[in-house]
Amino acid sequence: MASKVTPISGFQEWLPRERIAELIVLDTIREVFELHGFASINTRALETVDRLAGQGADADKEIYGVRRLAASADEPVEFGLHFDMTVPFARYVLENAGKLTFPFRRYQIQSAWRGERPQRGRYREFIQADIDIIDAGELPDHYEAELPLVIADVFSRLPIGDYSIHANNRKICEGFYRGIGIDDIIGTLRIVDKLDKIGPQAVRDLLIQTGATERQADLSLALAQICTSDTSFVAQVRALGVEHPVLDEGLAQLANVVRTAAEHAPGVLVADLKIARGLDYYTGTVYETVLDRDPAYGSICSGGRYDALASDGKRTYPGVGVSIGVSRLLGLLIGEEGLTASRETPVAVLVAVNDEQSRPESMRIGAALRARGIPTLVAPKAAKFGKQIQFADRRGIPFVWFPDAGDGGGDQVKDIRSGDQVTADRLSWQPNPADLRAELVVPQHN
């Protein structure tokens, strides 16, 4: 008896042409990360629940616990699936500190899992592409200015359209709040972080409900509403009349980030003082990236500086990192906007089969082409050539190779898009570089 297939929401499963598009995006990200000197690591899917819990307001509620089906009901859940790459990376650094060379630059492209309600752009299982720079003892501030440049390099090579990296520094918020007499820094940050979702009046009401005075609430809102594309945010903060040494430090650090971005990736980064990031471990610069055409979609790339996440009690390993939400980005580009690949298979050449008796010769041709790095498939049937061409066309395969039929004409290769057909040598023929691999196809919308 056949069982009914029931879809599970919150997971991406692409068709072959879409999956190739996803792989092209992932390969592009990996290439740029390596160009900037980041080394790849891979961490386990499971972490202890104790390590995962407590990293944000709702982190413990989002963790998928993992245990044996045969476990007793009162057996505690020891392990959970990681919900990001930063927490596992911090553990990895502590376990391998004696074997790593600092400062350590790593990238990690893996799946993560969150037990939250699936909705637009948010999934139960998703791919993240992270970079982090971590050091032993101290981490220079200039790394906080470097990471947005890596992201700008990635996005310049992908068809994502106009975007903006919004940056803030948690020290600005902390110093400002302390300067006006607010002690609950984390609680205030979490409320202000809701500004785009609930609006300024609701944020003001929440701040007052949780103990802030009207003056403190108004000043907190005034700070959060400062957003500039240059370093003029410093003067705007100063004009609010608040003083604190931590505030001074945060302003100087963010100004350096803005200046560096303006030189190397002009027009990409803005100082946006409402950006807070919900996770508690951030201590310095924080980033969120939004698409200009759809800001409501939310951040597609975020991260920040953390100073105490990786510590063994004797030594602390501060770091700064940023994560591209690959599944989130592709949910829009592929799932909603129709980004795809030029073919549904990696194959560039289909070798035709004249008849089944000559199939071994077609297989020899295929082997010769593959030996030179050309993705090749031998036709499954010795059908009429028209049907073999149709087989290739339906899959987006650009070339069909016709073995010598014994009439002295030699092997022939046909570009089925243009109809051009030429004599070819299996040991030297090469397609154009653009035809060797599938490419992204950006849909043309009216």
Is 357 among the domain residues?
A: yes
Q: Are residues 151 and 294 in the same domain?
A: yes
Residues 146-166, mean pLDDT to the nearest whole number: 96
Give the distance, in angstroms, between the CA of residue 79 and the centroid of all CA atoms in the same chain. Answer: 25
List the domain range (segments joined by +) for residue 374: 342-441
Residue 168 phi, psi (nearest 5): -140, 180
CATH assignment of the domain containing 437 = 3.40.50.800
Whether residue 43 is annotated as binding a ligand: the answer is: no
287 marked as part of a ligand binding site: no
The answer to whether position 70 is within a domain reads no
Summarised one tens digit per residue, pLDDT across range 297-352 is 999 999 999 998 888 888 999 999 999 999 999 999 999 999 999 999 999 999 99
Q: What is the reported pLDDT for 380? A: 96
Number of Cβ atoms within 10 Å of the Cβ of 308: 11
Q: Is 30 annotated as a binding residue?
A: no
Q: Out of 247, 278, 306, pick the residue that ends a domain.
A: 306
Per-residue pLDDT for 198 more than 60?
yes
Tell me how far apart the alpha carbons of residues 282 and 111 are, in angstroms, rounded to a whole number. Answer: 22
Asked if the structure places residue 359 within a domain, the reply is yes
> Is 12 among the annotated ligand-binding positions?
no
Domain tally, the chain: 2
Residue 76, Cα to own-chain centre: how many angstroms? 33
Same domain, 241 and 166: yes
Residue 166: give its domain's CATH number.
3.30.930.10
363 is in an annotated binding site: no
Q: Is 402 within the bounds of a domain? A: yes
pLDDT tens-place string over residues 110-135: 999 998 889 999 999 999 999 999 99
For 150-201, list the strands marked E by DSSP: 163-169
Give kind and range of the element (H or E) at residue 198.
helix 195-198
Q: Binding site annotation covers 85?
A: yes
Residue 143 counted as an annotated binding residue = no
Instruction: List, for residues 57-83, the tens digit of each pLDDT value.
Output: 455 668 999 988 888 888 888 999 999
> What pLDDT was estimated at residue 98?
93
Query: Is 128 labelled as part of a ligand binding site?
Result: yes
305 among annotated binding-site residues: no
Residue 2 counted as domain residue: no
Q: pLDDT tens digit string along 221-268?
A: 999 999 999 999 999 999 999 999 999 999 999 999 999 999 999 999
Render pLDDT for 89-101 as a digit per residue (tens, 0 to 9): 999 999 999 999 9
User: According to the model, what pLDDT value does residue 446 have?
Assistant: 42
Rounded CA gap, 275 and 195, in Å? 9
In a domain, 286, yes or no: yes
Average pLDDT, the chain: 93
What is the model's pLDDT at position 57? Answer: 44
